[in-house]
Amino acid sequence: MKKYIAILLAALMLLSTACLTGCSSSKKAAETTTAAAAETTTAAASGDTTTAAAAADTTAAAGGAADESKQLLQKAIDTIMTTDNHKMMDAGTTFDVPKATGNADALAKLKDTDTNKWHYYEYLDWDTSKDAQFPTSAGDGQKGKHVILIVHGAHAWTTCYQDAFKKCCDAVGMTCDIYDPNWDQSTQDGYVDQAINEKPDAIVVIPVSADHASQQFKKITDAGIPAFCSNTLPEADAMNYIMAYTGPNDWYQMRNLADKLGEELGGKGGVAYITHNVGTSPYYARTYGPMSELAAKYPDIKHLDVQSPGFEASAVKQVVSDWITKFGNQLNAIVLADDSDQAIGAVEACKAAGRTDIVIVAAGISKQGAELIQSGDLKYASYQSCQADAGLAVRTVSEYFCGEKINRVSYIGTDIISKDNVKNFLPCQW
């Protein structure tokens, strides 16, 4: 008992001493900063020319640093290219958000094929009056700044993204640390806390879960650190705590893909859908985006089934085989959320059943997807540049540090890949 108490007391003492030390250092640093600021203000108010001149020198230095940073940024924008020879740090695009026809609860009651139902999923339509107090940029440029990137999980795509992010950071003079929670929400929460503890100049997060994003970004913004969201669309409410979102417009890409599919089918036929991970933003975008687009423009097209077998080729093959057995000639097209393993499974199932007439389209673009397009097994794929995704994030963060006005929402460019133009998108990025 005595031993137990002694050990506990020792541990508590160690912790308390260490924490108090940590607290007092932070307090001292804060006091020093406040005192310095007060001194500058007092000096300026009393007309102390020496201090005012020093302040002017500081401002000039900041302006000089920003100019240098802007030059670095411009050089990076002009020179860095993706592996498929497109600009990596190209400017993003924005879309006007149409007026919603009702609130979220009312729209949720509509049919899945109704475009209006998906308004709050498709558009980041948030109440800007509830925006948090965002930290103001010092306007001294991005050179020398430290950024922490928290991705969602290990995947070939993520590796490509991380490499591109680092490359762009190096080019513009920023340093970065990258944390990978391996698709675990609680691990990502832990990394968010660790990142805040490191006190970087900015934090970029690819959220594991769109619904949980609000809490994560709120923590970062409450800590006074600029928070940026990349790639995965967060829930609209999270935008109140996000400086800027950059990434693909999944809904727009998939609607374009659906238009091409509709043309290919001649406005008739049956379509089935293989989804992304249930509950994620691509789940909704890559299933209900094309579904509602086809329903709006090609009302004669029937929507046969929606399944979520995951990303294993064998599981997808089984599902598609079952569809072919169940629907027979009614099945004319398949929309896939992924052009790699899912596409392989779907193509194998169609070939095994002798149904090479089924049109397969997918969200892309991976090496396997490109090969399938070249062979003609995959008809169309949407183009979503992983490296440009990272590049746009770095560009937006840099522009923020340079004191420039940034869009709250920016999307990367997109295209539709077919056999005719696939060579323009080679070699694939991941």
Partner 1 sequence: MMKDKKFRFNLNFVNTNRSYFFLALILICGLFMKNFYTAYNVCAVTGNGSLVIWLGLGFTICLIAGHMDLTVMYMSTLGALLCLGLHTINGIPWGLSILLATLSGVAVGLINGILVTKFKIHSFIVTLGMQFVLKGLMYIYTGGAELSIGRDYALNDALNAKVGFLPFSLYFVITTAVIFLVMVVLRYTRFGRNIYMVGGNLETAWLAGIKSNLVTTLTFTISSTACALGGALNGIYSGSASITMGEKGISPLMIALTASIIGGTSIYGGKGSVVWTWVALVAIAFLKSLCKKTELQVLVIAAILILCIFYETLAQYRKNKVVGTRPNLHLEYLEETGKKA
Write out the residues near partner 1 by the rule CB under 8 A.
Answer: 3-4, 7, 11, 14-15, 18-19, 21-23, 26, 153, 179-187, 189-191, 193-194, 196-199, 209, 211-212, 214-215, 218, 237, 278-279
* Spatial CA neighbour of 320 closest among 280, 364, 293, 359: 359
Q: Which is nearer to partner 1, 20 or 352 (CB)?
A: 20
**Minimum CB distance to partner 1, residue 361 (Å):** 25
CB nearer to partner 1: give 214 or 342: 214
Contacts for 395 with CB less than 8 Å, ≥ 6 apart: 73, 77, 89, 91, 92, 168
Q: Residue holding tokens 């391996």?
A: 182
Toward partner 1, which CB reaches closer, 35 or 278?
Answer: 278
Least distance between partner 1 and beta carbon 193 (Å): 4
Minimal distance, residue 189 CB to partner 1, in Å: 6
380-384 and 414-417 beta bridge pairing: antiparallel
CB atoms within 10 A of CB 387: 26
CB nearer partner 1, residue 86 or residue 219? 219
The answer to whether 193 and 215 have CB atoms below 8 angstroms apart is no
Instruction: Decide whether 38 or 104 has the Cβ nearer to partner 1.
Output: 104
* Residue 180 contacts residue 236 (beta carbons within 8 Å): no
Alpha-carbon dihedral 401, 402, 404, 407, rounded to 10 degrees: -40
Tell the smallest beta-carbon distance from residue 167 to partner 1 (Å).
22
Return d(Cα 53, Cα 326) in angstroms, integer: 81
CA distances from 109 to 125, 156, 181 (A): 19, 38, 35
Of the pair 159, 215, the CB lying nearest partner 1 is at: 215
Instruction: Kindly state the smallest distance separating residue 277's Cβ from partner 1, in Å.
Output: 9
Nearer to partner 1, 281 or 385 (CB): 281
The minimum distance between CB 304 and partner 1, in angstroms, equals 21
- Give least dist CB 288 to partner 1, A: 15
Return d(Cα 222, Cα 133) in angstroms, integer. Answer: 8
SS3 148: strand
How far is the CA of 147 from the CAs of 230, 328, 394, in angstroms?
13, 53, 9
| Distance of closest approach, residue 2 Cβ to partner 1, in angstroms | 12
- Closer Cβ to partner 1, 51 or 185, answer by number: 185
Residue 275 near residue 308 (C-beta atoms within 8 A): yes
